[in-house]
Amino acid sequence: MAQPVKFQLWRLIKSLEKAEKRNFKLFAKRAGANRDSKFIQLFDVLDRQAAPDDKLTMQRMGIGKGQLSNLKRHLYQQLLTSLRLIYIDKEIDIELREQIDFTRILYGKGHYLDALRTLERAKAKAVEHRQDLLHLEILEFQKLIEARHITLSRQIENKMDLLLNESAERSYSVLNTSELFSLNIQIHGRYIEYGHSRTPEEKAATREFWNSIQSKRVGLTVATETFHQKVNRFQAAMWYHYIQLDIDSALESAITVYNLFDISRPEVYKDPDLYLRSLYYVAMLAYLTNDLFLQERYLKRLQHFMTNENIQLNENSRHIGEVYVNLSWFNHCFLQRDHAAAYQHARTLVAAYQEGGFRPNDHRWGLLLYKTAAACFLNGHYDEALDYLNDIINMRGGILRKDLLINTRLLHAICNFELRNYSLVDYHLLSLGRLLRGSTEAAEMHRLAVAALRRLLKLPASEHWQVYQKLRQDLQRLAASPYESKALTYLNLQDWLQLHLAD
141 CB contacts (<8 Å, ≥6 apart)? 100, 103, 104, 119
Exposure b/e, 421-452, CB count within 10 A at least 16 = b? beebbbebbeebeebbeeeebbbebbebbbbb
For residue 158, name the pLDDT band (cuts at 50, 70, 90). low
Question: What is the distance between the alpha carbons of residues 293 and 299, in angstroms, rounded to a whole number?
Answer: 10
Q: What pTM was computed for the model? A: 0.81
d(CA 276, CA 279): 5
Whether the Cβ atoms of residue 255 and residue 282 lie closer than 8 Å to each other? yes
In the chain, the percentage of residues whose pLDDT exceeds 70 is 93
Q: What is the rounded CA–CA span in Å between residue 500 and residue 380?
A: 12
23 neighbors 85 (Cβ within 8 angstroms): yes
Q: What's 337's DSSP letter?
A: T
In angstroms, rounded to a whole number, what is the distance separating the alpha carbons of residues 331 and 406?
A: 19
Cβ-contact 61, 41 below 8 angstroms: yes
Looking at residue 155, what is its pLDDT? 55
Contact by Cβ (8 Å): 318, 273? no
N-to-C CA span, the chain = 43
State the Cα–Cα distance between residues 471 and 494, nearest whole angstrom: 9
On the CB side of 400, how many CA atoms lie within 13 Å of its CA? 23
Which residue pairs, CB below 8 angstroms and at least 24 apart, start in 423-432? 425/453, 425/457, 426/457, 429/453, 429/454, 432/406
Count Cα atoms within 13 angstroms, Cβ side, for 452: 24
Residue-averaged pLDDT of the chain: 87
Number of H helices, E strands in the chain: 25, 0
Is 60 exceeded by the pLDDT of residue 421? yes
Q: How far apart are CA 120 and CA 99, in angstroms?
A: 10
Mean pLDDT of 169-195: 87
Predicted local distance difference test score (pLDDT) of residue 350: 94
CB atoms within 10 A of CB 22: 11
Question: What pLDDT is stored for residue 180 in this prediction?
Answer: 86
User: Quick one: average pLDDT of 302-329?
Assistant: 90
Q: Higher pLDDT residue, 163 or 481? A: 481
User: Residue 169 pLDDT > 90, yes or no?
Assistant: no
d(CA 381, CA 344): 12
- For 216-269, the pLDDT digits (tens) are 655 555 446 788 889 999 999 999 999 999 999 999 999 999 999 999 988 898
Between 160 and 466, name the one with better pLDDT. 466
* Alpha-helical segments (H) within 271-338: 272-288, 292-307, 315-336
* Tens-place pLDDT, residues 6-24: 688 888 888 888 888 888 8
Distance from C-alpha of 353 to C-alpha of 367, rounded to nearest angstrom: 14
Number of C-alpha atoms within 13 angstroms, CB side, residue 350?
A: 19
Q: If you average pLDDT over residues 455-480, what whole number do you get?
A: 93
* Angle at CA of residue 398, ends 191 and 391, nearest 5°: 115
pLDDT at 2: 47
Average pLDDT, stretch 259-283? Answer: 92
* SS3 per-residue string spanning 216-285: HHCCCCCCCCCHHHHHHHHHHHHHHHHHCCCHHHHHHHHHHHHHHHHHCCHHHHHCHHHHHHHHHHHHHH
* 478 or 153: which leads in pLDDT: 478
Per-residue pLDDT of 44-91, as tens digits, reads: 888 888 888 888 888 888 888 888 888 999 998 889 888 888 777 667
pLDDT at 360: 86
Whether 1 shows a pLDDT value over 50: the answer reads: no
Look at residue 179 in the predicted model and tell me its pLDDT.
85
Every domain of the chain and the residues it spans: 5-87, 92-156, 345-400, 403-503
Please report, to the nearest 10 degrees, the dihedral formed by the alpha carbons of residues 486, 488, 490, 493 taken in order. 180
| pLDDT at position 329 over 80 | yes
For residue 492, give the DSSP letter: -
Structure confidence at residue 307 (pLDDT): 92
Lowest mean pLDDT among 121-135, 159-173, 370-384: 159-173
Q: Which residue has the higher pLDDT, 301 or 193?
A: 301
The three-state DSSP-derived secondary structure of 402-438 is HHHHHHHHHHHHHHHHHCCCHHHHHHHHHHHHHHHHC
| Kind plus residue range of the DSSP H or E element containing 499 | helix 493-501
* Amino acid identity, position 395: M
